[in-house]
Structure 1
């Protein structure tokens, strides 16, 4: 199996696994039981991971890092937590049409509760217009929520500009950095005034089931409702026994992510795109006119359904879009927002590389996709009509 679905999840780094193993067997103490040595050792391991994450993000203090089960929980906590605590200031939240389902579905829930949500449109490049953002911020706006990089196309948003606009207008900025962290140079929170930021370890060769929410320390503290009531873990915001091995793994994974050769991954991605464009007719790379994550390629292959293509290449693991949207028959909301037709959106695949992707795997993937596309098109009346100019 050639695995090229790294925006869905990544292989656990060997060094990360080795760091986790002691806390799965020998050092199994409860991190909240600091009356004895085993509990203290587990607690120290958690604090080390908190420091590793804070240093990677250039956060000013490790206490700004709060552990969650992943980015989806962090997004839910941040959106709902701000909405609950800031209703006296307003009920308006701004996001975009191309956000992850965790954001869009949470916003839909808040909308049913009376909150006003503005969904900013994007252009063909997948980016919002910053002037649209500025004009959408009103007196009752309490939060702007935008992703750092799109999980389907890899398009990188101008989050520094967004953060500065929000700071100038005294509006909180929540950044979903789930796909961004570990796939490019990390966010520098000393230079970019993001208020809340979400990450998930399994996107950068860490374990599944662990993530974090960064909450900036400000002169006027950011107020959030408690996510899970129970013990005093995470300053009482999220009760429950710490998953020590997962937290350790996240800390190690984010520390190792800085060692990744981004240029090498980008070169493999670019080569794959160029070869497919040369060997196949009517291939389009979505978002290629703008900065993208080095590992991500969204490719529309005219009149070749992604579902049919993937069934023809069972040894190549790719996807048709977000893993969280798998199972729906609807075309990608991201691609539709970018102006693709429903038919073209259904003919789009997502290929996402990792530091473990080899040149040989890229060659194997190109060969398999080209052969499969030729086979599908040769048996397609629709393709034949399109070739004759009788269909768009």
Structure 2
């Protein structure tokens, strides 16, 4: 039986070019970038080269604004915890949204237990915050605003540049989790006006266990990891050189026109699934923004009357890997906090939705087959359920 992977928002397969780049490092460049001898200098050169590539990919003003981390979770934690430690003398109020990744929400919950007040902005049915709500929530003692760029479950794209302009004359530090945006959206940190931005390599066909945090020069920074003096004394620990080179290669693969081409490819895949479901008479609705307004790789659908767990199991048996929400809460019986924020705790969407997420390895033929498989699962369940009533 053939198997098809449509869970790219959880993780992506590593691209051949990234494997080649990492293999070269693993075989030939074993030096520690902190060493001063030839082998260390070679490693340090590759580290600097990768940092340059990644800085340019987000239009950072300087290469030293890139801090290598173990991934999105560490980058999110570092940005948030660094800010509250550095600016606690200015206040203890933080603003975020109700649909953030657990790496942000769990950190906020931790801070609430330690004397910080957190405002969670609501979202509308499209998964978008209101700038008016944000403006109303801002206070003189607000020290941090953390709003994700693209949501990992429904694909909503928040108005980051507008938020940046709103905060331009406020003391609050501005952080955005761009983990789901980096491989598919154009990012210019100067235009966006962010102070911190989080990235993870495995969402764009790079390796797991590596990412980076953009930290704008001039923003106070308190290290999250302590030990050696790596990363300009901001993140201790010997750098993961093979992973960093792999991340830089993945970023290069998606630079310029290639990223625009990928967006068109991903949009076409989503449209193909929707067309098949419509043609097959499936009763469904799109959760969150319209297809062309969402992150191009994420499609969340309400499969009306079909329990999520049953749909997931039957699609897996047919060879199709999709999800019911964030992979970081997989195995939990808790409903999606994102869908609750959009529709309320009692809405049927909470128990009857699927997240389909697409990547470079998917094609129109497999997307067509996915649409047919979802249609078959839905029709089979509803027909059997009707017969038992």
For the aligned pair, the TM-score class normalised by the smaller chain equals: over 0.9
Measured in 2, the distance between the counterparts of 1:34 and 1:303 equals 64
Question: After superposition, where does 1:125-274 map in structure 2 within 5 Å?
Answer: 125-184=126-185, 186-217=186-217, 221-258=218-255, 259-260=258-259, 261=261, 262-274=263-275
SS of alignment partner, residue 10 of structure 1: coil
Q: Is the 8 A contact 1:34 1:43 kept in 2?
A: no
SS of alignment partner, residue 17 of structure 1: helix
Give the counterpart of 1:294 among 296, 304, 324: 296
Measured in 1, the distance between the counterparts of 2:102 and 2:280 equals 34
Measured in 1, the distance between the counterparts of 2:225 and 2:289 equals 41
Instruction: Give the structure 2 partner of residue 366 of structure 1.
Output: 371
Deviation readout 1:175-231 (Å, 9 max, x if unpaired): 0000000022x21122221110000010011100001110111xxx21222111111
Q: Is the 8 A contact 1:277 1:284 kept in 2?
A: no
Question: Quick check: which one's helix share is greater?
Answer: 2
- Residues 1:350 and 2:355 aligned together: yes
Deviation readout 1:303-326 (Å, 9 max, x if unpaired): 111111111122101000100011
Consecutive unaligned residues of structure 2, counting only runs of 5 or more, are: none
Deviation readout 1:347-382 (Å, 9 max, x if unpaired): 11000111221111112111211111111112225x
Measured in 1, the distance between the counterparts of 2:135 and 2:281 equals 42
Q: Is the 8 A contact 1:153 1:297 kept in 2?
A: yes
Instruction: Give the structure 2 partner of residue 283 of structure 1.
Output: 284
Measured in 1, the distance between the counterparts of 2:295 and 2:238 equals 35
Measured in 1, the distance between the counterparts of 2:388 and 2:56 equals 56
Measured in 1, the distance between the counterparts of 2:115 and 2:348 equals 35
Give the counterpart of 1:305 among 307, 312, 330: 307
Q: Is the 8 A contact 2:196 2:214 kept in 1?
A: yes
SS of alignment partner, residue 131 of structure 1: helix
Measured in 2, the distance between the counterparts of 1:89 and 1:24 equals 46
Number of residue equivalences: 379
Between 1:144-153 and 1:165-174, the stretch displaced more is: 165-174
Consecutive unaligned residues of structure 1, counting only runs of 5 or more, are: 386-392
Between 1:288-297 and 1:347-356, the stretch displaced more is: 288-297
Instruction: Give the structure 1 partner of residue 11 of structure 2.
Output: 9
Q: Is the 8 A contact 1:284 1:300 kept in 2?
A: yes
Shift of 1:342: 4.5
Measured in 1, the distance between the counterparts of 2:48 and 2:125 equals 44
Shift of 1:343: 3.2
Measured in 2, the distance between the counterparts of 1:34 and 1:190 equals 34
Q: 4+ residue stretches of structure 1 with deviation over 4 A? A: none
Instruction: Give the structure 1 partner of residue 341 of structure 2.
Output: 337
Between 1:338-347 and 1:294-303, the stretch displaced more is: 338-347
Shift of 1:384: 7.7
Deviation readout 1:57-79 (Å, 9 max, x if unpaired): 01111100000000100111111
SS of alignment partner, residue 145 of structure 2: strand
Measured in 1, the distance between the counterparts of 2:368 and 2:157 equals 27
Measured in 2, the distance between the counterparts of 1:229 and 1:295 equals 36
Instruction: Give the structure 2 partner of residue 390 of structure 1.
Output: none
Measured in 1, the distance between the counterparts of 2:98 and 2:281 equals 31
Deviation readout 1:75-121 (Å, 9 max, x if unpaired): 11111111111110000000000111111000000000010000000
Shift of 1:274: 2.7
Q: CA RMSD in A?
A: 1.4
Measured in 1, the distance between the counterparts of 2:243 and 2:57 equals 17
